[in-house]
Structure 1
Amino acid sequence: MIKSSVELIMAGRRQRRRRWILVTGLLALLACILCCAMLLLGNTIYPVTEVIRALSGEQIPGASFAVNTIRLPRMLAGLFAGFAFGLAGSIFQTMLRNPLANPNVIGITTGSSAAAVFCIIVLQTIESVVSLASVMAGLATVMIIYLLSSRKPFSIGRLILVGIGIQAMLDAAISYLLLIGAQQDIPAALRWLSGSLNGSQMHELPPLMITVLICTPIIIVLGKQLSLLELGEQAATSLGVRTNTVRVILILSSVCMLAVATSVTGPIAFVAFLSGPIAKRLVGSGFSNALPAGLVGVNLVLGGDLIGQFAFETRFPVGVITGIVGAPYLIFLLIRMNRKGSL
């Protein structure tokens, strides 16, 4: 009897592992297809052979400039920023055991946005300064939120409420800056706030790529401790998890990715919010959904950008498309949580 029970458990685990591998592989394949579409499609549709030749350094009139200067930076920005938003959002939701506890809702990306708008409208600085300021402001915002909500015992509800309060204050500051800003500066600020891959340049991408490549392995290594944190503070501590240390490392890694991604693309709406729940539905329980959530984020950003470019007569930034998709889900989630008494 015991042997058969163990066999059933192991069989179930193997089935969940196969499902995780299959879903992750399909998400990665879809991301590759979308990356190729980003390179091939535009005002002029180039053959695959010409795109490959242009990427290899061969000078092809028209194609070399379009592929290497416009489409490749746009694709890489969407790839790495989407992965950063998806992975970081999933980490916050998993660690805090609440689907509302994502960077968009608790004010982290809003801190980066406020700093960027201040630099654009008030200081009128160059793009590199705007990016640096948004990164520093994102880190400062999460430190303030964590310090204001870190009274013992640690409370998820307190952190979310503090974050919502900080977000409301920063949103008010952004609105004020837009009201007092010069007319010629407001369009640039609004383009940045909408979240867009337009104008992505290769020299902006190395910090984002390096941050994602460094922080992702850290988060994956801490995946087991993250799963234990889902059980609650006391249960995780009794199982030997240094909860404060693990939580700080996960938050810093996630916020670094979020802040750098936001500095490159602006706050692309709802990607961090949607990626975790979608990945969890696809993968199921039993294995970490961090990597699938990152891939879902990639697909949302790249797919949303392609839809925004080619599905309508007017071209829309990717943040508008993801916002249209994400807003109904947020309303649905709030209604469901209210019925369950979670709010």
Structure 2
Amino acid sequence: MPGGLSVRVEPRGLGVALGLLLVTLAAGVVLIGSGDFPIAPADVVATLLGDGTAVQEFVVQELRLPRVLVAILVGAGLGLGGAVFQSLTRNPLGSPDMIGFGQGATVGALTVIVLFDGDATAVAGGAVVGGLLTGAAVYLLAWKRGVHGFRLVLVGIGVAAMLTAVIHYLITKANLVDATRATVWMTGSLEGRDWTQFWPLLAVSCALVPVVLAYGRPLRMLEMGDDAAYALGVKVERTRVALTASAVLLVSVATAAAGPITFVALSAPQVARRLTRSPGPNLATSMLTGAALLLVADWTATNAFGERQLPVGVVTGVVGGVYLLWLLVTERKAGRI
């Protein structure tokens, strides 16, 4: 019908999305019930519905629910940001982890910690500013009659190397207390996350996620190349700038909320694509995959090593490193690198 809205729904993609949503909810309930004061999943659900005891209400609502909600939003933001950049660069290695945006946010946060002794809010603001400035720098350095994926990846890798050197310099410049604080932040952790981290993260997510999802169709066309996208009526540079800015801000805010949690942005879009067996950016499933991956990683970090709890960034780093090696071998066998 002329002027009507056409929506294409792929049954497998919809089924995967619903399955990932159920996994995310189930992992969240299990994670809320885990800890020094264990709560059965049924009691967690009852407490969330307002039927728990006073102690359960306090533990769930004040201590554990904010952490789980922050984990969901951080994982979703990283997964969505990773999907955008991998589609824009047409490269599975075109992840914020690899092309400098995570390192830029880390430099911003460490600058506030080491040079200005800022509080948690100032550190989060520094991470956001650092990520945005890095995104702008990478985009401008990669510009040459437009921004092409291969050039963006190469420039991003170079910027990431320079920013890593700056990170090491800031650590060596810091006193012992600031160096310890910076190292803990750099590991990436959800420990102690509360409602003060959740609400700003929710506000940014509500503002940016619909924008990114609305560009899903033009992004799919951009994967075919700029010339094909132009022929199909896509405003290429405007679309690329809007998606880049939105994805950089999502990743920066996620990093500000939980520290630089590595490899979720790299692996979530690839896992989503293999689950759906569908080409294209798979934005919604990448977002749900990122949330589920981070929740499972956080449960592993807090429960799989006895009394010794690990920061979630350690688990994602180990698993993500193995995944990266596998991805490199796969891409080499396919002749793409």
Q: Tell me how far apart the structure 1 counterparts of residues 53 and 10 of structure 2 sit (CA, whole Å).
A: 46
Q: Which residue number in structure 2 is paired with residue 283 of structure 1?
A: 276
Which residue of 1 is the match for residue 300 of structure 2? 307
Deviation, structure 1 residue 50 = 5.0
Q: Do residues 319 (structure 1) and 325 (structure 2) align?
A: no
SS in 2 for 1:185: helix
1:8-87 mapped onto 2 (5 Å cutoff): 17-48=10-41, 50-51=43-44, 54-55=47-48, 60=53, 62-87=55-80
Distance change (3 Å), C-alpha of 1:58 and 1:181: farther
Q: In the alignment, what sits opposite 2:3?
A: none
Deviation at 1:287, TM superposition (A): 6.3
**Residue of structure 2 equivalent to 1:201:** 194
Contact 1:110 1:171 in 2 (8 A): yes
Range moving further from structure 2, 210-219 or 297-306: 210-219
Q: SS of the counterpart of 2:39?
A: coil
The residue that corresponds to 2:224 in the other structure is 231
- The superposition leaves residues 159-197 of structure 1 with CA deviations (integer Å, 9 ceiling, x where unpaired) of 111111111111111111111211112222112111110
Alpha-carbon distance in structure 2 between the residues aligned to 1:100 and 1:288: 14
> 1:221: Cα distance to partner?
1.3
| Closer/same/farther in 2, CA of residues 157 and 49 from structure 1, 3 Å limit | closer
Structure 1 residue 338: Cα displacement: 3.0
Q: Kindly provide the CA deviation profile for residues 133-179 of structure 1, in whole angstroms up to 9, marking residues without a partner as x.
A: 11111111000000011111533221111111111111111111111
Q: Is the 8 A contact 2:29 2:45 kept in 1?
A: no
Q: Secondary structure at the match of 2:252?
A: helix
The separation in 1 between residues aligned to 2:152 and 2:42, in whole angstroms, is 52
> Is contact 1:107-1:163 (8 Å) kept?
yes
Distance 1:28 1:66 in 2: 24
Contact 1:104 1:270 in 2 (8 A): yes
CA–CA separation in structure 2 for the residues paired with 1:338 and 1:23 = 28
Partners in 2 of 1:297 and 1:180 — Cα distance? 35
Conservation of the 8 A alpha-carbon contact between 1:27 and 1:295: yes
Report the alpha carbon displacement of residue 267 of structure 1 after superposing the two structures with TM: 1.1
- Cα deviation for residue 38 of structure 1 reads 1.8
Q: How does 1:193-272 map to 2 (within 5 A)?
A: 193-272=186-265
- Counterpart Cα distance in 2 of 1:256 and 1:39: 28
Change (3 A) 1:187 1:60: farther
Q: Deviations over 1:242-265 (max 9, x none)?
A: 000001111111111111111000
Aligned partner of 1:6 in structure 2 is none
Show the 5 A alignment for 1:123-138.
123-138=116-131
**Mean CA deviation greater in 296-305 or 312-321:** 312-321
Kindly tell me: are residues 39 and 97 of structure 1, through their superposed partners in 2, closer, same or farther at Cα, counting changes over 3 Å?
A: same
| TM-score under structure 1 length normalisation | 0.91
Aligned mate of 2:331, from 321, 331, 337:
337
1:147 partnered with 2:132? no
Structure 1 vs Structure 2 CA RMSD: 2.0
1:82 touches 1:294 (CA, 8 Å); kept in 2? yes
Output the CA distance in 2 between the equivalents of 1:303 and 1:280.
19
Given that 2:31 and 2:299 are in contact with CA atoms closer than 8 Å, whether structure 1 keeps it comes out as yes
Mind listing any 5+ residue stretches in structure 2 that lack a counterpart? 1-6
In structure 2, relative to structure 1, the CA distance for the partners of 1:61 and 1:122 (3 Å cut) is: same
Paired residue secondary structure (2:10) = helix
Q: Conserved in 1, the CA contact under 8 Å of 2:111 and 2:126?
A: no
Q: Secondary structure at the match of 2:176?
A: coil
Alignment-mate amino acid for residue 172 of structure 1: A
TM-score by length of 2: 0.93
Q: Out of 144, 154, 164, which is 1:171 matched to?
A: 164
> Where does structure 1 lack aligned partners over 5 or more consecutive residues?
1-12
Q: Structure 1 stretch 115-124 or stretch 273-282: which is displaced more?
A: 115-124
Separation in 2 of the partners of 1:60 and 1:186? 42
Question: Taking every aligned residue pair, what percent have the same amino acid on both sides?
Answer: 34
Structure number with greater Rg is 1
CA distance in 1, matches of 2:14, 2:334: 32
Q: Contact 2:89–2:148 at 8 Å: present in 1 too?
A: no
> Are 2:97 and 2:265, in contact at CA under 8 Å, matched by a contact in 1?
yes
Give the letter aligned to residue 329 of structure 1: Y
Confirm or deny: 8 A CA contact 1:73 1:202 kept in the other structure: yes
The residue aligned with 1:104 is: 97
Segment drifting more, 205-214 vs 260-269: 205-214
Which position in structure 2 is the counterpart of 1:95? Answer: 88
Aligned to 1:7: none
* Alignment CA distance shift 1:186-1:59 (3 Å): farther
How far does the alpha carbon of each residue in 1:256-310 deviate from its partner, in whole angstroms, 9 at most, with x for none? 1111111000111100000000000001125651111111101111000000000
Rounded to whole Å, the distance in 1 between the matches of 2:42 and 2:288 is 27
